[in-house]
Amino acid sequence: MSPTATRTELSILKHLWSGNRMSAREVHDAVSTETGWSYSTTRTLLTRMEEKGLVAKADVHGVAVYAPALSRVTVLGALARELTRDVFDIKGALPASMFADSPHLTGDELAELDAILNAEGSNSKDGDEKQ
């Protein structure tokens, strides 16, 4: 089962999902304004996220760059699903359209999200998972 991201970790993923891989410094510059974290904090988070399998680290010319290991859709889907299903007992069709207004989700992603939201119990859809 996909690892769960905490609020703080989501702050980072949010930026990583923007597209290109980012170095710790870049991630920091991006999130620091909204978070106020010290560079060390950003780096610690990034490291833990890699251990948890939330991000993938690569080496580009000597510097480490990070990329999300899970797509925005997957994470959003897992969170929404857990919330609605487990906590609020919403059964059956959970419309992915509820996120249709997000400027980040494309039509394809919405379709994917729909699949996640309405998948039955076993999340054995062990296909590759990335960007």
Which of a copy of itself, DNA, none is residue 58 near (CB under 5 to 8 Å by kind)?
none
- Per CB under 8 A, the list member of 2, 10, 57, 64 interacting with a copy of itself is 10
Please give the torsion angle defined by the CA atoms of residues 125, 85, 53 and 103, in that order, rounded to the nearest 10 degrees.
90
DSSP 8-state symbol, 35: H
User: What distance in Å separates the CA atoms of residue 76 and residue 73, rounded to the nearest whole number?
Assistant: 5
| C-alpha to C-alpha distance for 67 and 69, rounded to whole angstroms | 6
Whichever of 64 and 90 has its CB closer to a copy of itself, that residue is 90
Distance of CA 119 to the CA centre of its chain: 19
| Backbone Cα Rg of the chain | 16
Binding to a copy of itself, residues 75-94 (CB under 8 A) = 76, 79-80, 82-84, 87-94
What residues make contact with a copy of itself under the rule CB under 8 A?
Answer: 7, 10-11, 14, 72, 76, 79-80, 82-84, 87-95, 97-99, 101-105
What residues make contact with DNA under the rule CB under 7 A?
Answer: 4, 6-9, 23-25, 35-38, 40-41, 43-45, 48, 52, 62-64
